[in-house]
Amino acid sequence: MHGKADRLKAAKAPQQVGIAPELLHRLPPGQTVTEKFPILHEGGVPAYDPALWDLRVFGEVEEERTFTLDELKSMPQTNTVSDIHCVTRWSKFDTAWEGVKFSDLLQQIKVKPEAKYVMIHADQDYETNLPLDDVLRDDVLLAFLYDGKPLTPKHGWPLRLVVPHLYFWKSAKWIRGIEFMSEDRPGFWERNGFHNYADPFREQRFSGEALPIPEDEWTRKEFD
């Protein structure tokens, strides 16, 4: 998997055309705006029975909890509109999501004071790490809906994380677990050459030294 990071490092930069000047401040360095929604993930698309699906919350909490899909949907729902940015160089403006704010989920559990990070566990054998403070932002959702409709399986149905201020690999699809941690540890892509934090406006694409712009492979992927 580390080869993907190496491949992206060596690629040419895409050229941005046709974006209105007043929108340029919303576009991170090296990104290209698209109206498409590219579909990128490792492995196959999992299938679920909604009646059997659940979300496990564990780690540095007073009591481990498991939430059903109906329990999550019964919580207060929030609508957000945000720009999203993928490490493979595409950005999509004004994406509309609906779901449970991560901060609202925390009202249902008792997190220990020593919890400073979270690891998001997802199918297929995927995980990604984030600082706890980052997922408590008002625009970070456990999302059920995109653009007013249920997520499609390829975009993470029945539940995905949305963390708009970081590269989109942090917005894990098909999430099944949230682990609260006292110390940070790298997730799947973070162990395979990608940056641990992933701020698009600082071009934190890869671990190590400053790196060239990655390839525009997303243009050859499936999209909605």
Across the range 108-131, mean pLDDT stands at 97
- Residue 33 phi/psi, 5-degree rounding, is -80, 135
| 59 conformational bin, left if phi > 0, alpha if psi -120 to 50, beta if neither | left
Tens digits of residue pLDDT in 72-108: 999 999 999 999 999 989 999 999 999 999 999 999 9
Candidate from 20-24, 125-129, 163-167 with smallest mean pLDDT:
20-24
When pLDDT is cut at 50, 70 and 90, the band that residue 220 belongs to is very low
Biggest CA–CA distance in the chain, Å, is: 52
How high is the pLDDT of residue 40? 76
Mean pLDDT estimate for the chain: 89
Tens digits of residue pLDDT in 27-80: 999 999 999 998 877 678 999 999 999 999 999 999 999 999 999 999 999 999
How high is the pLDDT of residue 166? 98
How high is the pLDDT of residue 39? 84
How high is the pLDDT of residue 49? 97
Model pTM score = 0.88
How high is the pLDDT of residue 18? 66
SS3 sequence, 88-104?
A: CCEEEEEEEEEEEEHHH
Burial 199-221 (b: 16+ CB within 10 A, else e): ebeebbbbbeeebebbbbbbeee
Q: Is pLDDT at 181 greater than 90 in this prediction?
A: yes
When pLDDT is cut at 50, 70 and 90, the band that residue 159 belongs to is very high
* Domain 2-38+53-218 indexed as CATH 3.90.420.10: yes
Enumerate the domain spans of the chain. Answer: 2-38+53-218
Q: Cα(214)–Cα(192) distance, rounded to whole angstroms?
A: 15
Tens digits of residue pLDDT in 135-156: 999 999 999 999 999 999 999 9
How high is the pLDDT of residue 213? 45
Q: Is pLDDT at 17 greater than 60 in this prediction?
A: no
Q: Cα(135)–Cα(188) distance, rounded to whole angstroms?
A: 18
Q: Cα(93)–Cα(72) distance, rounded to whole angstroms?
A: 27
The secondary structure of the chain as a DSSP string is -HHHHHHHHTSPPP---S--GGGGGGSPTT-EE-SS-B---SS------TTT-EEEEEESBSS-EEEEHHHHHTSPPEEEEEEEE-TTSEEEEEEEEEEEEHHHHGGGS-B-TT--EEEEEETTTEEEEEEHHHHTSTT-EEEEEETTEEPPGGGTTT-EEE-TTS-GGGS-SSEEEEEEESS----TGGGGTB-SS--GGGT--BSSS---PPP-GGGGS-B-
When pLDDT is cut at 50, 70 and 90, the band that residue 218 belongs to is very low
